[in-house]
Amino acid sequence: MTTKSPKRASTPVPSHANGFVASRSAKADTSHHPGRTGIDLLHDPLYNKGTAFTYKERQKLGLLGLLPPRVSTLKAQATRVIANVRKRVTDLEKYVDMLSLLDRNETLYYRVVTDNIEEIMPLIYTPTVGKGCQLYAHLFRRSRGLFITKYEKGHIKEVLQNWPRKDVRVIVVTDGQRILGLGDLGASGMGIPVGKLALYTACGGIPPGQTLPITLDVGTNNPALLEDPLYLGLPEKRIEGKEYDDLVQEFVEAVQEVFPKALLQFEDFANHNAFRLLEKYRDEICTFNDDIQGTASVTLAGLYSAGRITKRKLTDEVILFHGAGEAAIGIGDLVVGAMMAEGLTKEQAKARCWFMDSKSLVDASRTDLQHHKLPYAHKHNHGPVPNLLAAVKAIKPTALIGVSGMAQQFTKEIIEEMARLNKRPLIFALSNPTSNAECSAEQAYSLSDGRAIFCSGSPFPTYVYKGQTFVPGQGNNAYIFPGVGLGVVAVGSKRVTDEMFAEAARALALLVTEEDLKQGALFPPLTKIREISARIAEAVAEVCYKRKLATVPRPKDLRKTILDMQYQPEYKEYV
C-alpha cells in the first residue's frame, strides 16, 4: 500500500510581501546588492536600510527573520528618529543619539539632518560637538575613521589601505591639538573630522562613502587626559619637531598614493603647525586649512553683507581683530586680497587691519612676535596699547572681530565705545563654541542701542529689542567648506587657492536678500544650504577652469552637472 506524503502547509504570504515567498532552502541572491548579505549588511551603515528593506530584498539578501515584519518607509523612519531626538533632555544626549544613528544607517541619518538642518546642525557640530569631543572616551560606542600614531611610522600606506571604501574624495584630518576653543584634546578630537564630513555630505552633497575622517594621534599634553584611565588615545606627550614633521610627510605622501583623487583638509591644528603645514603643502597637493581659509571666507562674506547695510565699501572698513592666531590672520589675509581687488595697494590694505594678541596690540615696537604676525605689525603714535578697550579707543575701528577663543572679551565698555565711534558698528564674536563667544547677541544689540551689526560663530537665538526683531548672523564655516569641497571634487582640481575662497565669499554674500538684511542677518537661512553650496561650488569650479587647475573637461552646463552630483539621502533598490 502506497502511503501519500502529507501536504505541507503553505507558507503564509504577508500583505507587504507582494506575493513573494521565501523558499526554505533559498540562499541570498548576490547579483544585485551592495556586496553584503544577512547580518553583515545590517551592520554596514552605508548600505543598511533597517526596517525599510522590502520583502523582496529580505528574500534575496538573507534578511528574513532578522527584522520586524512590517516594511517602513524612509519618511516613517525619519519621523520616528526626530521625535525621539526631541524627547532627549540635553543637547549632548541628542548628539549621542544622532551619532548612534550615523553608525547604524547613514542614509536615514542624512535624511534627518537635511530635513531639519537648522535644528540638527548645532547638535552634530558646533557648539555641541565640543562637549562631545571632551567626553569622547567616556561616550565611545563605535570607532569611525582612521587613527594613525607614531607606531605606524613606515606603514601609514598600509593603514590607509585598511579603509574599506576606496573612492575617497574628501579627507578631514586633525591632530587634536587645538579643538575649537577647547585646546589639546588629543585623539578625542576625532569628533571634529567626523562632524565636518557629516556637513560635507548634508550641506554640500558629497556622498558619504567618499569621505574619510582621520586623526593623527601624536600624543597629548593635556594632563587630565594623560591621567584618565578611559582615554583612548596614546597616553604619551606629543611628539614634536622632526619626528612630527616626518610623520605628517609620510601621511601626506601615502594619501596621494592610496587616495589620489582626495581633497585633504587640515582641521584644528595648533597655530604653529597650521601655518607651517599650509604653506608647505598648499602648492604641492590639493589641500586647505578650514580654520585659516574657511573662517576667512565666511567672515569676508559677512563683511560684504554688512556693507550693504552700512553703505560702506570694504575699503572703508578699519578692522580690529581680538586674537592673532590662524583664524585671525587667515581673515586678515583674505580681506587684504579683497581690498586690493577693490583698488588699494597691499600696504594700504594691511594698514586697515589691526590685531590684538594675548599681550597687547600687535605693532612694530614688539620684538616677541611670531612670524605670521609680522606682516601686520604696524607703526603707530598711540603709545602703549595694553588691552582691547585701549585698542578700540586708539585705532577707532569700524569692525571688531573676535577670534581669540576667549569668552566675554567684548565688555560693556568696549561695545559702548564701538557704538560711540560708529553709527553701525560691526561686532563679530566668532569664537566657538557658544560658551567661548566674545559676547552674546543680546549684549551686542542692547549695549549698542540696537545699532550693532552682529555675527557669531555659534548660533544665538532671535532677539527682540525695542520692538525690532534681530536674527543674529551665524558666520559658520559650514556655509563655505562644503561648497568649496564640492567644486574642487566636481572638476578634480589639482590645488585649492585663496582665490577660490574669495569667490566663495562673494557667491555667499550675493545670496543674502534684502529681507535677510532688514533683520540683521548677514547670511541666508541654513534651510537653503544645499543651494548655497551648489552656487559656491560653481564659483570655485569657474576659478579652477580659469586657472587651468581642473582635470575634468568643462561640461556644457556646469551648474546642472554640479547639482546632479549632489548626494541625495534616498534609499536604493538592491534587487
What is the number of other CB atoms lying within 10 angstroms of the CB of residue 516?
18
Type of residue at 31? S
322 CB-near residues (< 8 Å, 6+ apart): 356, 388, 400, 401, 402, 403, 404, 406, 409, 410, 438
User: Strand 463-465 and strand 468-470: pairing?
Assistant: antiparallel
Residue 422, C-alpha cell as written in the block:
560708529
Q: How far apart are CA 476 and CA 483, in angstroms?
A: 13
Type of residue at 39? I
Q: In what order do the strands lie in the sheet with 353-356?
A: 353-356, 319-322, 399-402, 426-429, 453-456, 473-474
Q: Where are the alpha helices (DSSP H) in 68-187?
A: 74-87, 91-104, 106-115, 117-124, 128-134, 136-139, 156-161
User: Strand 211-217 and strand 146-149: pairing?
Assistant: parallel
Q: Which of 125, 200, 231, 304 is catalytic?
A: 125
Q: How far apart are CA 284 and CA 293, in angstroms?
A: 17
Q: Are 131 and 123 spatial neighbours (Cβ–Cβ below 8 Å)?
A: no
Active site residue 125: yes
Q: How far apart are CA 120 and CA 115, in angstroms?
A: 9
DSSP secondary structure letters along 279-335: HHHTTTSSEEEIIIIIHHHHHHHHHHHHHHHH---GGG--EEEE--SHHHHHHHHHH
Q: Which of 196, 350, 445, 574 is catalytic?
A: 196
Distances (CA, A) of 531 to 202, 271, 379, 535: 12, 33, 45, 6
The HSE-up count of residue 538 (CA atoms within 13 Å, CB side) is 18
51: nearest Cα among 16, 21, 23: 16
N- to C-terminal Cα separation, the chain: 47
Q: Which residues are the active-site residues?
A: 125, 196
